[in-house]
């Protein structure tokens, strides 16, 4: 499924990231910034909630032959991002999601059962039409962001090129990893 | 080189340039290279080229919030963060704190500001196009606004002069609608873009070209002599380029002016007024307020260039009242602050592209493709609106973030995201806005900023012509992407205000008649019933084409 916001963002970056890209105003920020009362409340997680977040993040990006979400500090990253970059509606949505995880005693389930819960959650999330991103969407997005931009996660996943020095049209080799810059 | 200004008893220079951004930088360069002693006055803090780009070499994990806007940034930069990415910690410290520099929105205007050395030239999108002949003639032909007193031919040598110095990469196409310039080698179109280009020509006879961009693909002596080097294809331009590979005042004009030893730069100095001498019947200098110490001081010169951006330049003129100019300096026509324009943006379409699975790119291209205006051009006649729009956009392969909206999690999911995703494409329009005297800025009668300068009020909005064009921007984008054979074509059209194009212009229009214009054909301020003065202003725009003509602004 196309992540339209991402497409627009990619083009925005092509256009140099800052001014002049027509598509650039992608786009959530604009809406957030112009909301009259985007209230911000304090946000923090209890120890149990932190554990649930860590376990879900690790199920999304598990340790395999490469590092997993927990190894690179994704759980703490998620909490920091929610606190610093999200507002009350997202905080509530996230906490509600955690409450339902507590209700199904997520931490007491075995790995297969946990996976089952997340699959169900994923299907339920698709039916939601509200404006505020649901819990699954938030935790998945922040897990991927935290992992794939962490030093160990990025270097393990992609071919990291800090300074390309040239621009070249190339043919992809079999199994070639994506470049990250 | 900050001269000890106080030691200069007379505080007198040959010329004063207010503002250090795109046009101020160039004014200072041209004047100093012609032997004049110039004082450049910048209201913001000093940023030094290269060493001042504090985030330029940071790696992804060193950016704490990974490019997201924090709530704190959004609150402090309440206007700047309306534009995507400008609240990010990659750049946010280089953008103006709106909370400390507020303005009043009678009608909402997304005013994006960067008060520091080089201004927005440090952050611009670098797309650099010439206007075509018709852009200069359209007002006269259609009876819109007032006629430009200059034509393409008048500017042609200056376009070349600026392009050579700046370094613009692009492809010559021989199109009347998008005149060729003096180009460095073009960057390539990606495989799906080349396919798109062919289809558009085949089906619509519409040309598509790679963006003309002020990044050095092959630096010339004129660039390397200033320490500028070739683009490294990191596409992190917005953080400031440590290679000086894209053009900014910081990498180009200011160093060029500095090496003449005739430039002095004053930072943190807000010009509050142009001083008009009633006896001499001319502007003789400016008054500044130090933004930190609140100290005021006066500086004098025979020539004064106002390059403070469209809005601040107009505000400065309006605030410069005298017996001769009770309504603001040079404002006999009552046109100062009026005809505020921008380009509309934020509408277009995206699509998925099947195929091209083997095509990939090494490096990041700080550029995209450009589709020149095709509406109300040649045989095309639109009944719903005047003028036209161009598109910028391009194709890219999806990255890991495609996983956010996709089903799945776990080991295979993780592994899959390490490969390049499918090709996608997005194009978005830049639409021309017509001049309208009711779209304006003015000074609030009572409220003042913390320096005691009247606050700026924005009072502008899109009108019918703009909305009709916008509908077509979306519809035509969908039509073109579908015609190219792309899948899942999805229109987008975000609510925006004027200003978000960050192409604010107008406010001191150039014209033939002093009763209706602020500037003459030589960019000089004009006074009804009196001879032209020596003051020149750069914000001359009487009409705006469908792309920003930064080259024109420099001219």
Mean pLDDT of B243-249: 97
Q: Report chain A's mean pLDDT, rounded to a whole number.
A: 85
Mean pLDDT of B511-525: 82
d(CA B210, CA B24): 29
**Separation in Å, CA of A22 to nearest CA in chain B:** 5
Question: Per the CB < 8 Å rule, is A27 touching B71?
Answer: no
Give pLDDT, residue B513: 87
d(CA B130, CA B467): 25
Smallest CA-to-CA distance from A19 within B545, B103, B504, B277 is with B504
∠ at Cα A94 (A91, A99), nearest 5°?
120
Residue of B nearest to A173 (CA): B358
Residues whose CB is less than 8 angstroms from the CB of residue B528 and which lie 6 or more positions away in sequence, other chains included? B332, B333, B514, B515
d(CA A174, CA B358): 9
Each residue's pLDDT tens digit, B50-101: 999 999 999 999 999 999 999 999 999 999 988 878 888 899 889 999 999 9
Each residue's pLDDT tens digit, B396-448: 999 999 999 899 999 999 999 999 999 999 999 999 999 999 999 999 999 99
A67 within 8 A of A126, measured Cβ to Cβ? no
Question: Per the CB < 8 Å rule, is B85 touching A17?
Answer: yes
The helix/strand count (H/E) of chain A reads as 8, 3
Residue of A nearest to B487 (CA): A2
Give pLDDT, residue B76: 94
pLDDT value at A36 more than 60: no
Question: Per the CB < 8 Å rule, is B402 touching A3?
Answer: yes
**Separation in Å, CA of B456 to nearest CA in chain A:** 19
Residue B290: burial class (beta carbons within 10 Å; 0-12, 13-18, 19+):
middle
Mean pLDDT of A146-164: 98
Residue of B nearest to A139 (CA): B404
Mean pLDDT of A48-57: 98
**Separation in Å, CA of B433 to nearest CA in chain A:** 15
Each residue's pLDDT tens digit, B223-240: 999 999 999 999 999 999
B81-90 burial: b if 16+ Cβ within 10 Å, else e: bbbbbbbbbb
d(CA B217, CA B210): 13
Question: Per the CB < 8 Å rule, is B84 touching A181?
Answer: no
Give pLDDT, residue B334: 94
Look at the block and give the residue holding tokens 């229009």. Answer: B509
Tokens at residue B341, please? Answer: 């324009």
SS3 B138: helix
- If one counts every other C-beta atom within 10 angstroms of the C-beta of residue A3, the result is 21
Each residue's pLDDT tens digit, B21-60: 999 999 999 999 999 999 999 999 999 999 999 999 999 9
Cα B326 versus chain centre, distance: 31
Pick B534 or B75 by higher pLDDT. B75
A17, A23, A178: residue with CB nearest B399: A178
Mean pLDDT of B520-524: 77
∠ at Cα B332 (B330, B333), nearest 5°?
105
Give pLDDT, residue B525: 67
% of residues, chain A, pLDDT over 70:
77
Question: Per the CB < 8 Å rule, is A10 touching B399?
Answer: yes
d(CA A53, CA A40): 21
pLDDT value at A22 more than 50: no
Give pLDDT, residue B56: 95
Each residue's pLDDT tens digit, A82-136: 999 999 999 999 999 999 999 999 999 999 999 999 999 999 998 888 888 999 9
Pick B553 or B304 by higher pLDDT. B304
Size of interface A-B (CB pairs under 8 A): 302
Residues of A with CB below 8 A from B408's CB?
122
d(CA B196, CA B190): 10
User: In three state form, how does the secondary structure of A88-131 look?
Assistant: HHHHHHHHHHHHHHHHCCHHHCCHHHHHHHHHHHHHHHHHCCCC
d(CA B268, CA B475): 47
B425 within 8 A of B350, measured Cβ to Cβ? yes
Of all residues in chain A, what percent are helix, strand and coil, respectively (each to 5)? 55, 5, 40
SS3 B266: strand
Residue of B nearest to A172 (CA): B358
Q: What is the full DSSP assignment across B463-488?
A: -HHHHHHHHHHHHHHHHHHHHTT-EE
Query: pTM score, two decimals?
Result: 0.91
**Separation in Å, CA of A103 to nearest CA in chain B:** 22
In which element (H, E) is residue B396 found? strand B389-397
User: In three state form, how does the secondary structure of B302-350 look?
Assistant: EEEEECCCHHHHHHHHHHCCCCCCCCCCCCCCCCCCECCECEECCEEEE
> Positive or negative CA dihedral for B52, B58, B62, B67?
positive
Question: Per the CB < 8 Å rule, is B71 touching A84?
Answer: yes
Q: How far is CA B276 from CA A72, B223, B227, B317, B535, in A?
A: 64, 39, 40, 11, 11
SS3 A76: helix
d(CA B534, CA B522): 10
Query: How does residue A15 score in pLDDT terms, banded at 50, 70 and 90?
Result: low
Overall residue count recorded for chain A in this entry: 181
Give pLDDT, residue A31: 42
d(CA B283, CA B306): 12
Residues of A with CB below 8 A from B78's CB?
33
Question: Per the CB < 8 Å rule, is A171 touching B404?
Answer: no
Mean pLDDT of B4-12: 62
Look at the block and give the residue holding tokens 């931490």. Answer: A107
In which element (H, E) is residue B277 found? strand B269-277
Give pLDDT, residue B40: 98
Question: Per the CB < 8 Å rule, is B361 touching A168?
Answer: yes
Question: Per the CB < 8 Å rule, is B71 touching A164?
Answer: no
Each residue's pLDDT tens digit, B192-208: 999 999 999 999 999 99
Question: Per the CB < 8 Å rule, is A81 touching B65?
Answer: yes
pLDDT value at A7 more than 90: no
Each residue's pLDDT tens digit, A74-87: 999 999 999 999 99
A1, A17, A30: residue with CB nearest B405: A1
- If one counts every other C-beta atom within 10 angstroms of the C-beta of residue A44, the result is 10
**Separation in Å, CA of A76 to nearest CA in chain B:** 12
pLDDT value at B163 more than 60: yes
Instruction: Mutate one of A16, A56, A59, A61 to test the B interface: name it (highest B CB count within 10 A).
Output: A16
Of all residues in chain B, what percent are helix, strand and coil, respectively (each to 5)? 25, 25, 55
**Separation in Å, CA of A80 to nearest CA in chain B:** 9
Instruction: Mutate one of B77, B85, B371, B551 to test the A interface: name it (highest A CB count within 10 A).
Output: B85
**Separation in Å, CA of A64 to nearest CA in chain B:** 7
d(CA B461, CA B499): 9
Tell me B189's DSSP state: P
Residue of B nearest to A140 (CA): B404
Tokens at residue A138, please? Answer: 């938030």
B352 within 8 A of B322, measured Cβ to Cβ? no
Residue of A nearest to B246 (CA): A16
A12, A81, A150: residue with CB nearest B84: A12
Question: Per the CB < 8 Å rule, is A170 touching B362?
Answer: yes
Residues whose CB is less than 8 angstroms from the CB of residue A10 and which lie 6 or more positions away in sequence, other chains included? B396, B398, B399, B424, B426
Residue of B nearest to A111 (CA): B410
Smallest CA-to-CA distance from B474 within B428, B416, B414 is with B428
Question: Per the CB < 8 Å rule, is A18 touching B91?
Answer: yes
ipTM: 0.90
For chain A, the first-to-last Cα distance in angstroms comes to 24
Question: Per the CB < 8 Å rule, is A13 touching B191?
Answer: no
pLDDT value at B143 more than 90: yes
Smallest CA-to-CA distance from B314 within B324, B299, B329 is with B329
Instruction: Mutate one of B231, B400, B470, B504 to test the A interface: name it (highest A CB count within 10 A).
Output: B400
Give pLDDT, residue B519: 83
For chain B, the first-to-last Cα distance in angstroms comes to 26
Range with lowest mean pLDDT among B201-210, B393-402, B540-549: B540-549
In which element (H, E) is residue B388 found? none
Q: Report chain B's mean pLDDT, rounded to a whole number.
A: 91
């Amino acid at each position: 499924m196309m992540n339209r916001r991402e497409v627009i963002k990619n083009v925005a970056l092509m256009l140099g990231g800052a001014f002049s890209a027509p598509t650039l105003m992608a786009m959530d920020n604009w809406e957030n910034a112009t909301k009259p009362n985007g209230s911000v409340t304090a946000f923090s997680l209890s120890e149990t909630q932190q554990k649930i977040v860590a376990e879900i993040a690790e199920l999304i990006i598990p340790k395999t032959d490469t590092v997993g979400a927990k190894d690179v500090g994704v759980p703490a990253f998620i909490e920091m991002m929610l606190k610093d970059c999200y507002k009350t509606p997202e905080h509530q949505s996230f906490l509600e999601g955690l409450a339902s995880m507590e209700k199904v005693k997520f931490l007491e389930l075995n790995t297969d059962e946990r996976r089952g819960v997340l699959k169900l959650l994923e299907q339920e999330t698709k039916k939601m039409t509200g404006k505020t991103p649901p819990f699954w969407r938030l935790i998945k997005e922040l897990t991927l962001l935290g992992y794939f931009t962490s030093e160990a996660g990025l270097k393990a996943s992609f071919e990291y090129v800090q300074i390309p020095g040239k621009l070249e049209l190339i043919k992809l080799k079999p199994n070639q990893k994506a470049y990250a810059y | 080189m900050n001269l000890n200004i106080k030691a200069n008893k007379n505080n007198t220079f040959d010329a004063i340039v207010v503002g250090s951004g795109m046009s101020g930088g160039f004014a200072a360069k041209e004047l100093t290279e012609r032997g004049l002693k110039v004082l450049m006055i910048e209201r913001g803090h000093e940023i030094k080229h290269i060493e001042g780009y504090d985030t330029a070499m940071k790696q992804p994990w060193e950016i704490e919030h990974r490019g997201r806007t924090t709530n704190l940034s959004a609150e402090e930069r309440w206007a700047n963060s309306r534009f995507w990415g400008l609240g990010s910690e990659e750049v946010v410290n280089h953008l103006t704190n709106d909370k400390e520099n507020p303005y009043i929105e009678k009608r909402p205007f997304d005013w994006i500001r960067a008060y520091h050395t080089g201004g927005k030239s440090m952050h611009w999108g670098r797309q650099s196009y010439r206007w075509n002949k018709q852009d200069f003639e359209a007002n006269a032909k259609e009876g819109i606004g007032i006629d430009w007193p200059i034509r393409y031919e008048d500017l042609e040598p200056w376009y070349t002069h600026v392009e050579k110095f700046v370094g613009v990469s692009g492809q010559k196409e021989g199109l009347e609608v998008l005149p060729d310039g003096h180009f460095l080698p073009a960057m390539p179109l990606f495989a799906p873009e080349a396919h798109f280009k062919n289809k558009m020509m085949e089906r619509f006879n519409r040309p598509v070209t790679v963006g003309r961009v002020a990044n050095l693909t092959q630096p010339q002596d004129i660039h390397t002599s200033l320490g500028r080097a070739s683009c490294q294809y990191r596409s992190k331009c917005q953080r400031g380029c440590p290679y000086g590979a894209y053009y900014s005042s910081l990498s180009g004009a200011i160093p060029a002016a500095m090496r003449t030893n005739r430039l002095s730069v004053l930072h943190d100095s807000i010009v509050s007024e142009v001083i008009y001498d009633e006896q001499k019947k001319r502007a003789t200098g400016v008054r500044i307020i130090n933004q930190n110490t609140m100290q005021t001081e006066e500086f004098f010169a025979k020539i004064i260039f106002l390059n403070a951006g469209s809005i601040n330049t107009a505000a400065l003129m309006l605030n410069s009242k005298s017996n001769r100019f009770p309504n603001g300096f040079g404002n006999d026509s009552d046109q100062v602050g009026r005809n505020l324009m921008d380009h509309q943006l934020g509408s277009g379409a995206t699509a998925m592209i099947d195929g091209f699975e083997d095509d990939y790119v090494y490096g990041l291209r700080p550029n995209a493709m450009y589709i020149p205006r095709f509406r109300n051009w040649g045989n095309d006649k639109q009944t719903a609106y005047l003028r036209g729009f161009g598109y910028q956009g391009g194709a890219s392969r999806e990255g890991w973030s495609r996983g956010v909206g996709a089903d799945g999690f776990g080991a295979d999911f993780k592994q899959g995201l390490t490969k390049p995703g499918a090709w996608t494409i997005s194009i978005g329009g830049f639409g021309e806005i017509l001049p309208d005297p009711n779209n304006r800025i003015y000074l609030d009668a009572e409220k003042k900023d913390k320096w005691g300068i009247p606050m700026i009020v924005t009072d502008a909005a899109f009108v019918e012509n703009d909305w009709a064009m916008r509908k077509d921007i979306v519809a035509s984008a969908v039509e073109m992407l579908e015609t190219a054979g792309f899948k899942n074509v999805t229109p987008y059209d975000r609510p925006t205000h004027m200003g978000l194009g960050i192409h604010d212009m107008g406010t001191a229009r150039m014209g033939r008649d002093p009763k209706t214009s602020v500037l003459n054909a030589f960019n000089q301020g004009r006074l009804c019933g009196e001879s032209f003065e020596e003051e020149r202003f750069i914000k001359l725009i009487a009409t705006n084409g469908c792309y920003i003509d930064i080259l024109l602004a420099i001219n």
